[in-house]
Structures are given as structure tokens and as C-alpha cells.
């Protein structure tokens, strides 16, 4: 009897699919809503200014004044998920488009400091609202009870990138204004 | 017994998934920004029509002042570009004039007037950063450059300097 049971267990471990460990997202207990604010002193958009065909690749870098800065105010003991959806191209019309490559970083030390910024690889990232400073994770957040409220703090998001000044549709670029839209979403839970 | 074993194998082949709780929170936020660039078919050209002329300094003269609005000795430049396009103009207010015979430089404070037509008398003084200007129908905009400099402590010699102005489409 023991041998068949042993065999059963072996087959079980060989053929069973993936076991997912449970992950408790404490963000579901957040009571303070996230506030995303465009803090840029200029027009608020990402403006590459005037370009002339043949300029090659024009870059707005993290330290340039054209960088768009967002503050993200959220509960201090939570993680947040940031998703940035850039346009693939800036468009004048159907026959005139230019490639845009998103670059983005975040800073979560409690103040707007680009020298502490962490580069975001890709278009989404998860990070603590306030960095844990190389310490082990603390105790789980205190759920809301009674009049207890979780304090909030601000993290910062920086948006910049590269523009390739050539027509992706072939031919010369028409003179005029080329535009695109970047969407930013911030939440306590991963958006699927 | 074999049936039990076979049943157990079949069950073991069916992957079971255990997932954590997944409740959506409505506490998030979102925003959007515009990315833009203006392609220009040609750049903007600046042409100096005449330099600023100070003339000879009179004995006891403390200051040299040239009005960009009225003085015929004001410098004159013309910018050329796309007709009727809006432009942004900025310039450095102060610049050092150097003496070709050594000595302390002089600080010159520039004043600039602009007009979409070639008429100094109807031109207007510009700030160091201007966003409400526009090329005329022929793609031109005119500038007159004047200013003032204190020469009470100036050493003899010829003084020279530069004027920097930046123009771009907006």
C-alpha cells in the first residue's frame, strides 16, 4: 500500500502545474486616494520645440528644463503601480509622422530631486511611495479602523525622451505641429 | 488498486492554481500630457544691417546712451523666416565691452526695439523674453539695438562687444 501512495506522490509533483504563492496587496486597504499632479512650471506638456529635418535625434534628458514632472501623493506605507502609455509616433497627418521614444524616471525619497531618480525600464513600474532606505520591510500596514488615517507623502515621476526627426512614412517631413499624447495611470494595485 | 493509481495520475496532471486575493481599488489617479514638436522647413536667418555707433565721447561725459526707438546710431538687424509665423525672441540684457588697450571692461546694458515693418519710429521696446511677436507677410521682423553704458571710470581706448539675440518659432 505504501508503494502505490509513494508513486502517486511522485506523479503529483511531476505533473502538477505551477503553484502560485499568495501575495497580499496591502494597497487594497488604502483609504487615501492617490493624487497625481503635473508640477511642471512650463506649459505642462513635453515640448521638443522647433526642429528641422536632418536634425537627427533630439533628446530631452532628465536634467533638462523641458522634463515634465508629476508628483504622486499616496499613503506613505504603500507601494504604487505606475503605467505610462506613450504614443509610438508624433503625428502631423497620415503621411507625416516622427518616432518618439519614452524615457522616464521616478524619485521616492520624499522630495523632488532628480539626482536621486531611478530610471524606469519599460512603461510600467512598481515602487514604494517612500523608499525603505535599505531596511527590511516593516510590519504590515495598519488597516483603517476608527479615526485612524495613514499619512501620505509624495513621490515624483519624470517624463522625457527622444525624438527622431525623420518621416516614418517616407519622404520629407511637412512643416507644422506634430503631436502625441502620453497617458499616465497610478494605482495601489497592478492594472491588468 | 490500479484504478486508484490511474485516477491519482490523472488528477495530478491537472494543474491547480492558487492565487492570492485580487480586489480592484478605485483609489488610483490618471492624467495625460501632450508631446509635441514643430517642424520648420527652414531656419531663421539674422542679418546685421548696421552696427551700433557711439561716436566720440565728449570730455566730462559720464554716460553713453542710445535709444533704440529714435536714435539713428542704433544698431539694426532683420530676422527672416516663414511669413506670419509666431516667434519667440530673447536676448542678453548685459554684456562686457573690452578695451583693446587693456584696462577694466565696461558693462553695456542693451535695450532692443522691434517692429514687423521697417519703421524705427513705430517700433516697441522688447523685454528680454518675448512670445507675442510674428513675422510679417514677407517673413521679416526688424530690430533696433541701443542701450547705455557708464563711462565715468573708463580708460582710453576702443571698446568692443557683442550682442546675442535668440529667435525661434513657437
- A19, A24, A159: residue with CB nearest B21: A24
- pLDDT band at residue B25 under the 50/70/90 scheme: very low
Interface contact A30-B41, CB threshold 8 A: no
Q: What is the model's pLDDT at position B157? A: 81
Counting Cβ atoms within 10 Å, is residue A8 exposed (0-12), middle (13-18) or buried (19+)? Answer: middle
Task: Please give the residue that has the higher pLDDT: either A3 or B123.
Answer: B123
Give the C-alpha separation, A86 to A185, whole Å: 12
Q: What is the mean pLDDT of residues A160-178?
A: 93
pLDDT of A157: 97
Which helix (H) or strand (E) segment holds residue B6: the answer is helix B2-13
- Burial of A49 from C-beta contacts in 10 A (0-12 / 13-18 / 19+): middle
Give tens-digit pLDDT for B51-66. Answer: 988 877 788 888 989 9
Q: Does B43 touch chain A (CB under 8 A)?
A: yes
Residue B24 has pLDDT above 50, yes or no: no
- What pLDDT is recorded for position A41? 76
pLDDT average, residue stretch A69-88 = 95
pLDDT reported for residue B61? 84
Question: A109-118, A174-183, B3-12 — which is least confidently predicted?
Answer: B3-12
* Interval A108-129: pLDDT, tens: 999 999 999 999 999 999 999 9
Report the pLDDT value the prediction gives residue B60, as an integer from 0 to 100.
Answer: 83
How many angstroms separate the CA atoms of A137 and A23, rounded?
14
| pLDDT above 50 for B145 | yes
Mean pLDDT of chain B: 83
End-to-end CA distance of chain A: 47
Q: Which three cell numbers stand for residue B142?
A: 526688424
- What does the block give as the cell for B113? 526695439
pLDDT for res A5: 63
pLDDT class of A54 with cuts at 50, 70, 90: confident
DSSP 8-class letter at B14: S
pLDDT, mean over chain A: 84
Which residues of chain A lie closer than 8 angstroms to B85, CB-CB?
Answer: none
More confident residue, B143 or A17: B143
- Best mutation target, B2, B10, B17, B27, to test chain A (most A CBs within 10 A): B27
Are B39 and A24 a contacting pair at CB < 8 A?
Answer: no
Q: In chain B, what is the straight-line distance between the N-terminal and C-terminal CA atoms, in Å?
A: 84
A64 has a pLDDT exceeding 90:
yes
Which residue is associated with the grid cell 505606475?
A82
Residue A10's pLDDT band (boundaries 50, 70, 90)? low
Q: Which chain A residues touch B18 with a CB distance below 8 Å?
A: 19-20, 22
The pTM for the full model equals 0.58
**Which of B19, B26, B29 is the mutation pick for testing A, counting most A CBs within 10 A?**
B29
Among candidates A22, A50, A181 on the partner chain, residue whose Cβ is nearest the Cβ of B34: A181
Angstrom distance (rounded) from CA B134 to CA B89: 10
Question: What share of chain B has pLDDT > 90, as a percent?
Answer: 41
Contact (Cβ atoms closer than 8 angstroms) between residue B77 and residue B49 = yes
pLDDT band at A142 (very low <50, low <70, confident <90, very high): low
pLDDT for res B14: 54
Q: What is this model's ipTM? A: 0.79
Q: Which pLDDT belongs to residue B19?
A: 39
% of chain A beyond a pLDDT of 70: 73
Q: ∠A5-A20-B22 over CA atoms, to 5°? A: 135
Quick one: pLDDT band at residue B146, thresholds 50, 70, 90?
Answer: very high
Question: What pLDDT sits at residue A87?
Answer: 96
Amino acid at each position: 500500500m505504501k508503494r502505490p501512495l509513494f508513486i502517486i506522490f511522485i506523479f503529483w509533483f511531476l505533473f502538477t502545474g505551477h503553484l502560485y504563492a499568495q501575495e497580499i496587496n496591502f494597497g487594497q486597504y488604502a483609504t487615501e486616494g492617490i493624487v497625481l499632479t503635473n508640477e511642471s512650471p512650463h506649459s505642462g506638456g513635453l515640448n521638443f520645440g522647433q526642429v528641422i529635418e536632418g536634425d537627427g535625434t533630439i533628446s530631452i534628458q532628465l536634467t533638462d528644463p523641458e522634463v515634465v514632472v508629476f508628483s504622486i501623493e499616496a499613503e506613505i506605507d504603500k507601494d504604487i503601480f505606475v503605467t505610462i502609455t506613450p504614443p509610438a509616433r508624433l503625428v502631423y497627418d497620415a503621411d507625416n509622422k516622427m518616432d518618439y521614444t519614452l524615457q522616464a524616471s521616478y524619485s521616492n525619497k520624499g522630495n523632488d530631486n532628480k539626482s536621486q531618480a531611478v530610471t524606469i525600464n519599460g512603461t510600467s513600474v512598481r515602487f514604494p511611495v517612500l523608499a525603505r532606505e535599505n531596511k527590511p520591510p516593516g510590519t504590515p500596514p495598519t488597516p483603517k479602523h476608527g479615526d485612524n488615517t495613514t499619512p501620505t507623502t509624495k513621490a515624483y515621476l519624470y517624463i522625457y525622451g527622444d525624438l527622431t526627426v525623420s518621416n516614418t512614412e517616407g519622404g520629407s517631413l511637412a512643416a507644422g505641429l506634430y503631436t502625441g499624447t502620453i497617458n499616465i495611470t497610478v494605482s495601489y494595485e497592478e492594472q491588468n | 488498486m490500479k484504478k486508484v493509481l490511474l485516477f491519482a495520475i490523472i488528477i495530478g496532471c491537472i494543474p491547480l492554481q492558487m492565487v492570492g486575493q485580487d480586489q480592484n481599488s478605485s483609489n488610483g489617479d490618471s492624467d495625460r500630457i501632450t508631446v509635441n514638436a514643430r517642424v520648420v522647413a527652414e531656419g531663421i536667418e539674422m542679418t546685421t544691417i548696421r552696427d551700433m555707433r557711439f561716436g566720440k565721447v565728449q570730455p566730462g561725459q559720464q554716460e553713453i546712451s542710445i535709444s533704440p526707438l529714435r536714435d539713428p546710431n542704433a544698431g539694426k538687424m532683420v530676422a527672416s523666416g516663414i511669413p506670419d509665423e509666431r516667434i519667440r525672441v530673447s536676448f542678453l540684457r548685459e554684456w562686457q565691452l573690452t578695451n583693446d588697450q587693456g584696462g577694466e571692461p565696461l558693462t553695456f546694458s542693451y535695450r532692443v526695439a522691434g517692429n514687423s515693418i521697417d519703421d524705427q519710429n513705430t517700433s516697441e521696446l522688447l523685454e528680454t523674453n518675448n512670445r507675442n511677436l510674428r513675422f510679417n507677410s514677407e517673413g521679416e521682423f526688424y530690430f533696433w539695438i541701443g542701450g547705455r553704458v557708464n563711462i565715468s571710470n573708463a580708460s582710453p581706448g576702443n571698446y568692443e562687444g557683442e550682442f546675442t539675440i535668440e529667435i525661434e518659432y513657437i
